[in-house]
Amino acid sequence: MAKTRSEKSELLDKYKEILKNKGGYFLVNSDKADTLTVVDLKKKLKETDADYTVVKNTLFKVALQDTDQPLETQDLEGPTAIIYFSEDPTVPAKLIKEIQKEKEILGAKGGVYEGEFLSEEKVMQLAEIPSREVLLSQLVGTINAPLTGFMNAAVGNIKGLTVVLKGISEKSA
């Protein structure tokens, strides 16, 4: 069913808002996606402050041009959906890769993160990066390691001295 002019205007405004207010987005093929997979994906994306929407290519191209997005993203062909997120791009990328591996659907077409174009390969590389929380915990562990080593060395020397003094006291008694 054809959309009215007002419906198209509302969709265009929605697309522009997504492109301006979100940290990034991935474009994926939506032609082979079944309803169960999409519903499951939407649930998982909601948990990570991300969302999934099937776009109307002609209107989305206009929104891309109006919001000064990278030119590479404007080469849309075939049924397309957008997965947009606010912060961590690795979680949506991992979900795309997981679904693509299981059901061979939702192939990434590309995306944009912090104003920079991401090719299909870069989107899949993002899926290999640990999540933000894991990276932060690794950083804290790395920062904490020298202090932990120093404390272990200091405590070890004190324990050694205590054992020697206890041995001496037992010998003289």
One domain, residues 72 and 143: no
Question: Which residue range is the domain that position 151 belongs to?
Answer: 130-173
* Res. 72: pLDDT tops 80: no
Same domain, 111 and 63: yes
Quick: pLDDT tens for 109-136. 888 998 888 888 898 898 888 877 888 8
Q: Tell me: pLDDT of 162 over 90.
A: no
How many domains, the chain? 2
Residue by residue, DSSP assigns 75-88 as ---SSEEEEEESS-
Same domain, 117 and 144: no
The answer on 136 and 103 residing in a single domain is no
Q: Which pLDDT band, with edges at 50, 70 and 90, does 1 fall under? A: low
CB 93 within 8 A of CB 124: yes
Evaluate if pTM is beyond 0.75: no
Q: Are 109 and 76 in contact (CB under 8 A)?
A: yes
- Do 117 and 135 lie in one domain? The reply is no
Residues 144 and 101 in one domain: no
Query: Per residue in 11-38, pLDDT tens?
Result: 999 999 998 888 899 998 888 888 888 8
| Same domain (yes/no): 21, 74 | yes
Q: List Cβ neighbours of 57 (8 Å cut-off, separation of 6 or more).
A: 76, 77, 80
CATH code of the domain in which 87 resides:
3.30.70.1730
| 116 and 154, same domain (yes or no) | no
Q: Output the pLDDT for position 109.
A: 85
